[in-house]
């Protein structure tokens, strides 16, 4: 991931922090003590919209979805919907094959198997290759 100041590392940390803050604020409704314990042990301070520090999870507001996270072109959204649908179907088929392999004692568990994927869908192949070759600046 690079050094402590690398772009990749900071990107991962930013995403993880955003997820953690959202999850903690949501579970605070049900698991009040756990959420407060997590909040008190955050490795950073959370500032509210007015700039004050939220010393408790209950001083923060409900998570709000950022509009910039929704700024994907329709073409990209459709592609991801197709990819997710494809992988859902693929998972079903792979699980069937793994069940047969377990029955025949070829594998003991799914973790012992290797799955190689082949597709004739050129746009899927292109997009997956682009994602694998992506570089962080």
Report pLDDT digits (tens) over 71-127: 778 888 888 888 888 888 888 989 999 999 999 999 998 888 888 878 888 877 887
Residues contacting residue 2 through CB under 8 Å, at least 6 positions apart: 8, 9
Q: Does residue 58 sit in the same domain as residue 106? A: no
Our count of domains for the chain comes to 2
- pLDDT more than 70, % of the chain: 96
The residue-averaged pLDDT of 22-34 equals 93
Q: Does residue 54 sit in the same domain as residue 97? A: no
Q: Could you list the residue range(s) of the whole structural domain that residue 116 is in?
A: 72-133
CA 94 distance to own-chain centroid: 22
* Any domain includes 2: no
* Any domain includes 86: yes
pLDDT of residue 122: 86
- pLDDT more than 90, % of the chain: 31
Planar angle of CA 79, 134, 76, nearest 5 degrees: 15
pLDDT-based confidence at residue 137 (cuts at 50, 70, 90) = very low
pLDDT-based confidence at residue 136 (cuts at 50, 70, 90) = low
């Amino acid at each position: 991931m690079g050094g402590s100041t690398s772009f990749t590392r900071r990107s991962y940390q930013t995403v993880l922090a955003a997820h953690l803050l959202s999850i903690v604020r949501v579970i605070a409704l049900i698991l009040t003590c756990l959420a407060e314990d997590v909040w008190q042990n955050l490795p950073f301070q959370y500032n509210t919209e007015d700039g004050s520090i939220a010393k408790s999870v209950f001083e923060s507001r409900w998570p709000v979805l950022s509009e910039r996270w929704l700024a994907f072109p329709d073409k990209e959204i459709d592609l991801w919907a197709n990819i997710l649908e494809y992988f859902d179907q693929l998972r079903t088929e792979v699980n069937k094959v793994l069940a047969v392999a377990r029955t025949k004692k070829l594998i003991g568990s799914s973790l012992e198997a290797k799955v190689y994927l082949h597709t004739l869908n050129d746009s899927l192949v292109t997009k997956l290759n682009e994602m694998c070759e992506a570089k962080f600046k």
